[in-house]
Amino acid sequence: MTIDIPAPNHGGNPLQLPDAEYYTEMLDLATGINPWPWPVPCSCLAGLAKLPYHSSELQQAAAKYYDVYPQQLLPTSGSQAVIQLIPQMLAVGRVLLAGPAYEEHAFRWQQAGHECVFFPHDQPEKVAELIRQQGIEYLVLVSPNNPTGQMYTEAQLSQWQQLLPENGFMLVDQAYADVQIESLCTGLLSKPKVMLLRSTGKFFGLPGLRLGFALGDPQWLAKLDAMQGPWAVNSLAQSAGAVMLADRAWQHQMRQTLSAASARQANMLGNILSGWVESTSSTPLFNSFELPLDRGLLLQQLCYKHGLSVRVYQWQGRAYMRWGLAADEAELHRRLSSLGDELFALTDRVDSHVVHG
Mean pLDDT of 45-67: 96
The string of pLDDT tens digits covering residues 165-196 is: 999 999 999 999 999 877 789 899 998 899 99
Task: Looking at the structure, tell me whether residues 117 and 258 fall in a common domain.
Answer: no
Task: Looking at the structure, tell me whether residues 222 and 260 fall in a common domain.
Answer: no
The string of pLDDT tens digits covering residues 251-302 is: 999 999 999 999 999 999 999 999 899 999 999 999 999 999 999 999 999 9
For the chain, what is the largest distance between any 2 Cα atoms, rounded to a whole number of angstroms?
A: 73
Model confidence at 217, in pLDDT bands (50, 70, 90)?
A: very high
Q: What's the pLDDT at 181? A: 79
Nearest to 71 by CA among 175, 246, 219: 219
Average pLDDT, the chain: 93
Bridge-partner residues for 116, per DSSP? Answer: 95
C-alpha 243/C-alpha 333 separation (Å) is 35
Q: Is 212 exposed, middle or buried (0-12, 13-18, 19+ CB in 10 A)?
A: buried
Please state the separation of Cα 339 from the chain's center in Å. 27
C-alpha 303/C-alpha 217 separation (Å) is 45
Q: Helices (H), strands (E): how many in the chain?
A: 10, 13
Percent of the chain with pLDDT over 70: 93
Q: How many CA atoms, within 13 angstroms, populate the side-chain half-sphere of residue 147?
A: 27
Q: What's the pLDDT at 354? A: 36
Q: Assess if residue 7 is contained within a domain.
A: no
For the chain, how many residues are written?
Answer: 357
Q: Which of 197, 231, 246 is the last residue of a domain?
A: 246
The string of pLDDT tens digits covering residues 294-315 is: 999 999 999 999 999 999 999 9
Q: Assess if residue 189 is contained within a domain.
A: yes
Task: Looking at the structure, tell me whether residues 166 and 210 fall in a common domain.
Answer: yes
Q: What's the pLDDT at 175? A: 96
The helix or strand, by DSSP H or E, that contains position 170, with its residue range, turns out to be strand 169-173
- For residue 317, what are the domain limits? 27-35+250-347
The helix or strand, by DSSP H or E, that contains position 281, with its residue range, turns out to be strand 279-282
Task: Looking at the structure, tell me whether residues 191 and 239 fall in a common domain.
Answer: yes
Pairing of strands 286-292, 318-324: antiparallel
Structural domain tally of the chain? 2
Strand order across the 138-142 sheet: 73-76, 212-216, 194-199, 169-173, 138-142, 94-99, 115-120
**At 227, which amino acid appears?**
M
Task: Looking at the structure, tell me whether residues 236 and 268 fall in a common domain.
Answer: no
CATH number, residue 132? 3.40.640.10
Q: What's the pLDDT at 23? A: 66
Q: Assess if residue 18 is contained within a domain.
A: no
